[in-house]
Structure 1
Amino acid sequence: MPYVAVSALSHNGLIRSHNEDSLVIGPWTLCSTETESPQTLLFPLGTPLVVAVADGLGGHPSGDVASALVVRRLARIGPLLDSEEAVRDALTACNEAMYASADDDPDLIMMGTTVAGVVMLPRAVLTFNVGDSRVFDATRDGLRQTSVDDSPPPAPGHRTTSLVTQTIGGTVEFTAVHPHVTSAPLAPESRYLVCSDGLTDPVTDDEIGEVLRVHDDGKAAFELWKAAMDAGGPDNITLALVRVSE
C-alpha cells in the first residue's frame, strides 16, 4: 500500500535567539521548537495530507505566534484540503484569522508569516505558498522549484533578497492575499522539499540538489541543516522532505 514518509526538523540557526518558524505534518505541529535530529513520520496515502512550513516575519511582533496560528489551522482542516480551491480558501481564512487576532490584541498588530507546502492526494500533489518560503520537486531528475517567490529580483551582485511582497498578515490594515496554488499528477516515488529561507538563503539550489542526490531522506534532512549551519546559520532553519513510496 502506498504511504507518505516525511522527514523534518526545525532549528534556531546560529544568529536568532529563538525560533519563529512552525511546521505542520498532517495533524502534527511543531511550533517555536528546536530539533537537531530529523523526525520521520509515516502516513497512508489516501486522506489529504498537508505538510507546510510557516516562517514568522522578522522585525515584526510575534512572528512565532503568527506562524503557529497558520500551521495549527492547517492541521485542523488538512483532511478537507482536496482541491486547489480548498487550499486557496484555507489560506485566505488564515489571513483573515491573523488580522482578527491582531484586532483582539494590539500587541499583535503587524504580526505576519510566510507559508509554503504541499497537500498529498492519492493521485495528485497540490503545491501552495504565500511569501518566499519554498517548495521543490526533488525527484532523481534534479531539483525544480514549484512554489512562486513573492519577492522582487535580487539586487545586482546578490543571490537573494530579504524583501517579501506578499505575506499572511504583516500590515496594519487588512490586506487580501492571492495564494499561489498548483496541482500536478503524483508520480511513483515522488519526493518534495518544503523549507523556509533559512535553508535557501545560505545554501544554493545546486548544493541542495547534490545533498538530495546523494542521501536518503533522514540523512539528507540532517545534511541540509548542517549545510545551512556551516554557511553561518543566519536565520531559523525549517525543512521537511516528503516522499511517496510503496
Structure 2
Amino acid sequence: MQYVTVTALSHTGLVREHNEDSLVAGPWTLCGTVTENPQTLVFPLGTPLVVAVADGIGGQPAGEVASALTVRQLAAFGPSLDSEEAVRDALNLCNHAVYAAAGRDPELRTMGTTVAGAVVRDDAVLVFNVGDSRVLDATADGLCQVSVDDSPAPAPGRTTTSLVTQALGGAREFSPVIPHVATAPLAPGARYLVCTDGLTDHVPQDEVEELLRRHTGGRAAFELWKSAIEAGGPDNITLALIGIGE
C-alpha cells in the first residue's frame, strides 16, 4: 500500500519576535508556533491530501492571523481538492475570508498572507501558490521550482525581494487573486519541498539541492533549517517535505 509522508518544521528564526507562518498537512495545522524538532506524519495515498505553508505579510498587522485563517480553511477544504478548478476556488474563498475577517476588526485591516502547497492525489500532484512561498520538486535529477513567484525583479545587486505582487488579503480594498495551479504526474518515490521564503531567500538553491540529495525525512528538514539559521535566520522558517513511499 502506498503512503504519503509529510515532515514539517516551523521556527521563528533569530531576528523576528514571533512566528507569522502557518502550515497545514491534511487535517493537521500548525499556526504561529514553533516546532523544536521536525514532525513526521504518515497518510494513506488516495483521498486528496493538502500540504501547504502560509507566510503572513511582514510590516502589516496580524500576519499570523491571516496565515492561520488560510491554512485552517485549506484543512477544511482538503478532501474536496480533487481538481485544478477546486484548488483555485478554495484559494479564492481563502482570499475572501481574509478580507472579511480584516473588515470586521480595525486591528486586522490590511493583514495578508502568501500561500504555497501541493495536493497529493493517487495519480497526480496539484501544485499551487499565491505570493512568493515556494514548491520545489526534489527529484533524483535535481531540484526544480514548480511554483511561480509573485514578486518583482530584485533590485540590482540583490538576489531576492521582500515585495509581492499578489497575496491573500493585504490591501484596504478587496483585490481578487489569480492563483497559480498546475498538475504533474505522481511518480514513484516523488519528493516535494514546500516552504516559506525564510528558507529560500537565505539558502541558495544549489545548497538546498545538495542537502536534499544527502538527507531525507527529519534529518533533511533539520539540515535545511540549520542552514537558514546559519545564514542569520532573519525571517520565520517553515517547511514541509512530502514523500511518496510504499
Query: What is the TM-score of this pair, normalised by structure 2?
Result: 0.99
Instruction: Please state if 1:190 is matched with 2:183.
Output: no
Listed one character per residue, the Cα deviations across residues 104-156 of structure 1 (whole Å, up to 9, x for unaligned) are: 11111100000000000000000000000000000111000000000011112
Give the Cα separation in 2 of the matches to 1:70 and 1:176.
Answer: 15
Between Structure 1 and Structure 2, how many residues are aligned?
246
CA distance in 2, matches of 1:103, 1:237: 29
Which residue number in structure 1 is paired with residue 45 of structure 2? 45
SS of match in other structure, 2:40: strand
| Residue identity (%) | 71
> Could you give the per-residue CA deviations for residues 74-95 of structure 1, whole angstroms, max 9, x where no partner exists?
0011000000000000000000
CA drift at 1:243: 0.3
Aligned residue number for residue 116 of structure 1:
116
1:194-223 C-alpha deviation (Å, 9 max, x unpaired): 000000011000000000000012100000
Separation in 2 of the partners of 1:55 and 1:67?
A: 6
Following superposition, the deviation at residue 36 of structure 1 comes to 2.5
For 1:174 and 1:230, the matched residues in 2 are separated by 39
Amino acid in structure 1 at the alignment position of 2:110: M
- Whole-angstrom CA distance in 2 between matches of 1:36 and 1:133: 22
Match of 2:22 in 1: 22
Distance 1:221 1:155 in 2: 30
What amino acid maps onto 1:94 in structure 2? Answer: C
Is 1:238 the counterpart of 2:238 in the alignment?
A: yes
Name the counterpart of 1:72. 72
Task: Tell me what 1:35 maps to.
Answer: 35
1:214 corresponds to which residue? 214
**Structure 1: how far apart are the matches of 2:140 and 2:221?**
16
In the alignment, structure 1 segments of 5+ residues that lack a partner are none
Which residue of the partner structure matches residue 4 of structure 1?
Answer: 4
Deviation at 1:102, TM superposition (A): 1.3
SS at match of 1:240: strand
Q: Aligned-pair RMSD on alpha carbons?
A: 0.5
Given residue 80 of structure 1, which amino acid in structure 2 is its aligned partner?
S
